[in-house]
Amino acid sequence: MNAVSSKYSRKDIGWRLFLRTIIARAYPRIIGQQREVSWLVFDVVMPMLGVIAYVMVYRALKAPEEYIGFVVMGGAMTAFWMNILWSMSSQLYWEKETGNLALYIMAPNSMMAILLGMALGGMLATAMRAIAVILLGSFMFGVTYEVSSFIQLFSVFMLAMIALYGLGMMMASAFLLFGREAWHMANLAQEPIFLASGFYFPIKSLPFWVAAGASIIPLTLGMDAMRQLVFPSGFQFGFMGVQLEITLLAVLSVLFVTTSKFLLAYVEKIAVREGRITESRR
C-alpha cells in the first residue's frame, strides 16, 4: 500500500503528462547548450556577419536609416526560424534515423509535447542569439527604438511564435512522411523563406500578391507588425495595419496548431496500424 501510494508510483495523465513531457524533452537541450558553450559563440558571431553585410550595402546605397533597424531586427528573428527549421521540422526524421522515433510513438505521451519540448529546449540558444544580435547591432550602428504600444508588441510576438511553432509541428509531420527528402526540403526552404519573409527589407517592397502569399509564414506578418511598432516611421513601410496583422496571426495560430495535431495523429496511426512511418509502401 505504501509503495502504491508513494509519489513515485503516481501515473501522470492529461495536462500533467503533457507538461512533464515538455520539461523532460527540453532538459537535455538546455544542459547540452551549457556543455557546448562554443556553439553559442558561433550562433552569435555568424549571424552578425550577415547583418553587417546588409547594413554596409544599405549605407552604400544611401537607403533610409530605418532599413538599418529592419536589418538588425531581421537578423535577430532568423534565430527563431532556424530553430523551427532544424530543431522541430526535421526532428522526427532525425529521430527516425537514430532509432528513437519508435519509442516516442509507443510512449503514452503526446507527440506535440515531445516536439514542443525539443523546440523550447533550443529556445535558450535561440533567445540568446536574438538578444545578442539586437544589442550588438544597436550598439554598432546606432539603432534607436520607440515602442508605440508594448501590449500590441507583446501580442504580436507571442502570436507569431505560437503560429510559427504550429507551422514547425506541421512541417515535422510532412518531412517525416516524405522520408529521405526531409533533409533536402529543409535546406531548400531556408533561403526562400529569408527572401519571402522580408528578413532584411520591408515586405511591402515585394509585389502585392507575392507579399500576400508570403504572409502565410507567421514571421512575415510578425516582423512587419513589430517594425511598425518599434520604429517611429515604421508604419510608412508596413504592408498592412498592425491590428489586421494581429488578427491574421491569431487565425494562423489556431489553423497551424490544429492542423499539426491532426497530422501528428495521422503519423501515429500509420505507424501503429500499418507498421510504417512514411507514405512509401516499398
- Domain extents in the chain: 14-274
pLDDT-based confidence at residue 10 (cuts at 50, 70, 90):
low
pLDDT surpasses 60 at 139: yes
Give the model confidence (pLDDT) of 177-222 as tens digits: 776 666 677 677 777 888 888 888 888 888 888 888 888 888 889 9
pLDDT surpasses 80 at 99: no
Kindly state the average pLDDT of the residues 119-137. Answer: 81
pLDDT-based confidence at residue 75 (cuts at 50, 70, 90):
confident
pLDDT on residue 254: 92
pLDDT on residue 1: 47
What grid cell was written down for 130? Answer: 536574438
Give the model confidence (pLDDT) of 148-184 as tens digits: 888 999 999 889 988 888 888 888 777 777 766 666 7
Kindly state the average pLDDT of the residues 111-137. Answer: 81
pLDDT on residue 39: 67
Residue type, 101: L
Residue type, 87: S
pLDDT on residue 282: 44
Q: Taking all residues of the chain, what is their mean pLDDT, rounded to a whole number?
A: 80
pLDDT-based confidence at residue 251 (cuts at 50, 70, 90):
very high
Give the model confidence (pLDDT) of 102-120 as tens digits: 777 777 777 778 888 887 7
Cα dist from 19 to 2, 57, 116, 149, 254, whole Å: 26, 46, 10, 32, 20
pLDDT on residue 247: 93
